[in-house]
Amino acid sequence: AQKITQTQPGMFVQEKEAVTLDCTYDTSDPSYGLFWYKQPSSGEMIFLIYQGSYDQQNATEGRYSLNFQKARKSANLVISASQLGDSAMYFCAMRENYNYGQNFVFGPGTRLSVLP
């Protein structure tokens, strides 16, 4: 079973508008972390935002916010005031305990295109 589901293979948004990228996860571990990464066409993986499973408030980092709904096991990324430079692949990831370490499981990604 997929541990991280991103149901939107591609999304379009108008510049300066807000956009929500969906992410649902599946784990039985009570302690986990949720992350969003951005991968521009140049290929590097850029960390955007983090939400811990015990955090009471939704995480925010500048124009990025994470809409964490624990009971629904969703961790949607909201980008406000989209910019052309936001065009990229966006990956949702979950950290969970695995073997004697930690595994970071990544979703299939959503390709966001910001239109001028």
Partner 1 sequence: DSGVTQTPKHLITATGQRVTLRCSPRSGDLSVYWYQQSLDQGLQFLIQYYNGEERAKGNILERFSAQQFPDLHSELNLSSLELGDSALYFCASATRPDTGELFFGEGSRLTVL
Tokens of 75: 């961790």
What's the gap between Cα 71 and its chain centre? 17
CB of 90 to partner 1, least distance (A): 11
Minimum CB separation from partner 1 for residue 32, in Å?
A: 10
**b/e for 3-28, b at 16 or more Cβ within 10 A?**
ebbbebeeeebeeeeebebbbbbebe
Residues that bind partner 1 (CB under 8 A): 33, 35, 37, 43-47, 50, 52, 91, 95, 97-109
Please give the helix or strand (H or E) that residue 36 lies within, else none. strand 33-39
**Minimum CB–partner distance for residue 66 and partner 1 (Å):** 13
Q: Which is nearer to partner 1, 50 or 64 (CB)?
A: 50
33 vs 64, beta carbon nearer partner 1: 33
